[in-house]
A and B are shown apart, each in its own frame.
Chain A
Amino acid sequence: MTSRQLWIREYAWATGIIGLTTGLALALRPYLQITDVAMLLLLAVVFVAYRHRRGPAVTASLLSIAVFDFLFVPPYYTFNVHNAAFYLTFAVMLGVALSMSQLTGRIREQAEEASEREHQARTLYAMSQELADTARAQDQVAIVTKHISNVAPGQARILLDDEEGKSRFSRWPEDPVFESVAVRVAATWAYERGESAGLGTGHCAEAEALVVPLRSPTHVSGVVLVQPSDPDAGLTQPARRLIEALADQAAIFFERASLSERHQEARAEIQSEQLRTALLSSLSHDLRTPLGSIEGAASSLLQGSGLLSAESRRELAETILEESRRMTRLIANLLDMVRVESGALTVQKEWQPLEEALGVALLRVEDRLADHPVDARLPATLPLVPIDELLIEQVFINLLENVIRHTASGTPIRISAWAAADAVVVEVADQGCGIPPGEAETIFRKFQRSSSADRIGPAGGSGLGLTICRGIITAHGGRIWLEPTDGRGAAFRFTLPLDGSAPREVPAEALES
């Protein structure tokens, strides 16, 4: 409803109420004293003054004086008044109307202000709530845009500095909102001065949009632009105040997000620096040891060919073989790690029985598993899982190698799997000395070896196996963790989500006769 319609309505109401009261007074005329009629009309005036603003109240009061004078004060049906005392009645009626409307007007203003403030607080709270739940800058911009366009019907846009903190305003977005020169001038003004500009403000008021700067304590990080769908009607004062409040709030969130992003980048940089250092030291140690053995064994074989017994020759050759296998594994791990780290890990999922990947893994570590009885029974009812067999096989291998490395020989290993709601859960558990509490997470970190690892023989792990596992499982959309065990042993569990479209059912067949 426009303000003009509202205005007409209020006056119509005022007139209507006085008319109604007059009708009532006329109908009851035989029973009423003239003072009663005055009281009745006064009541109507008070009612109008209470409900409406001063204009309608005064109108109602003048109307009721006229009606009273014309219909009820003798001589009837003229505006002449014989008894001068009635002038006092008229004055009282006018005075009551004026003071009532003054009073109710003030109350109404206060109520309106309070409800505006409440609305503002509620909107601000709703927006901060949503902003606090999102981390991505893109989503945050969308949330702020949504809330601001809720305030006033029309279009809202947000322009932010680019990553280098430079203003974007040298290149305007391709958006009809920014086509107007006045809007561009207002936006630039608001950005540079940190004050609102454009529609309804003191600067560049001819612009079709209001531009509010995104002010954080340290700088202006961009502008919010609101173009009402009806630029002639403009924006109400409360709407403008609310938009400014929202913009201030949003600016703080944007600044916080960009700071935390920068902080994270810096941390990632430090981490990758640490990784390189750790990689170098690990490489120099882990690669040099087997290389040393290989070189030594090979040179012994070459030089002492005549002196060595068949048995020592064989031993030396075995050393070479064993150590080169160790190096092969280490290098494969490092390459996997680089793939996981660089995000180059591509998962080629195919629906298949988990059994197969496990079978390959068990064969691959077979000779080293000789000392560990493995109990691996997957239920025949286990559903097919969408996995990249080569990668999941690697997960099994790494978990098994982990057990081989960190438990005494003879320690049994149990591998089990079961179907959960929308995933298959796999567990690789051993009966070893377990992992100290508090290391459940750290063991998944790069180059992290369990503090208990040193207790059993030469560990020789690269400290990468579990990190690779986590990378692979995460790439499959699953989770891997150390399941708390009460007492002995360690149990690693991971989930393989059954997502994507399930494969066509394999038709069942009868046995050949």
Chain B
Amino acid sequence: MRRFLGATLRAHGYQVVEAASAREGLAQASGRNPDVILLDLGLPDLDGLEVAREIRRTARTPIIVISARGQEQDKVAALDLGADDYLTKPFGVPELLARMRVAIRHSALPPGSLPAPIFQSGELRVDLIRRKVFRDGQETRLTPTEYKLLAALVRQAGRVMTHRQLLQEVWGSNYQEQGHYLRVYMAQLRRKLEMDPTRPRLFITEPGVGYRLREGESSV
């Protein structure tokens, strides 16, 4: 896996530092100051989650977690710990590169900086300043909660957001047990903004983890 990733990423012009164990990885992470860290949760010497926590203690370096199918709880835990994104094995190279680009771009923004005022992806356009949402150029009216949810996703466009993070952001900490609120509002958003709500193109479900708003190629 590491060999394949190393070769692929070098071929795409990245400089790659490899580490075979958690200890080595932690040393490299603080010593080489990378732009992005790919972290496999299945490490020989230490729990991958521990590594994520350790890195987050000192640095904001984006972390992309790599794990197998069926480890959804670990992924969620890693994301809630501050990992930026995840990939499920087996994954394709384009997917990996896209995640890395998003993660690096988000980390390049200084903390607390405002997102771009206009978000565009496919037929969806969101004007964050005038709080207006357009589908195919047509203004679509949302309820306040629908808009809050949409705005939360737009701020983190391209990145996965866990159920917990979204519930926290939109409803606050008292609603952690009300996961169906999020799902119901997500279904409403899809019905209003997706061409075919049963085959979402924008509001992507990350099964067992959360949601991701697909970024448009032309996003500003």
On A, residues with C-beta under 8 Å from B are: 324-325, 328, 332, 335, 350-353, 355-360, 362-363, 366, 376-378, 380, 384, 389-390, 393, 503-504, 506, 509-512
Contacts and interface: CB of A to CB of B under 8 A. Distances in A.
- Interface residues of B toward A: which range? 20 to 34
A328 B70 CA distance: 13
Contact of B187 (A355, A362, A504): A355
Contacts of B185: 506
Interface string B132-157: 00000000011111110000000000
B199 A359 contact: yes
B180 interface: yes
Contacts, number: 77
B191 A359 contact: no
The residue among B146, B179, B183, B200 with the most chain A CB atoms within 10 A of its own CB is B183
Given A358-B198, A376-B198, A377-B198, 10 more contacts: A350-B180, A355-B197, A359-B190, A362-B199, A363-B204, A384-B180, A393-B207, A504-B180, A509-B146, A512-B144
Contact of A512 (B142, B187, B198): B142
The residue among A328, A356, A360, A511 with the most chain B CB atoms within 10 A of its own CB is A356
B205 A509 contact: no
15 contacts: A332-B69, A350-B180, A351-B180, A355-B198, A356-B187, A359-B199, A362-B198, A376-B198, A384-B184, A390-B72, A390-B208, A506-B181, A506-B184, A506-B185, A511-B142
Contacts of A356: 183, 186-187, 205
A326 to B, nearest CB: 12
Q: 10 closest pairs, A vs B, by CB?
A: A509-B143, A351-B180, A352-B183, A511-B141, A353-B187, A376-B198, A503-B180, A506-B184, A360-B205, A390-B208
Interface string B115-145: 0000000000000000100000000011111
Contacts of A366: 199
Interface in B163-220: 178-181, 183-187, 190-191, 197-200, 204-205, 207-208
Nearest to B179: A350
B94 interface: no
A510 B187 CA distance: 16
Contacts of A384: 180, 183-184
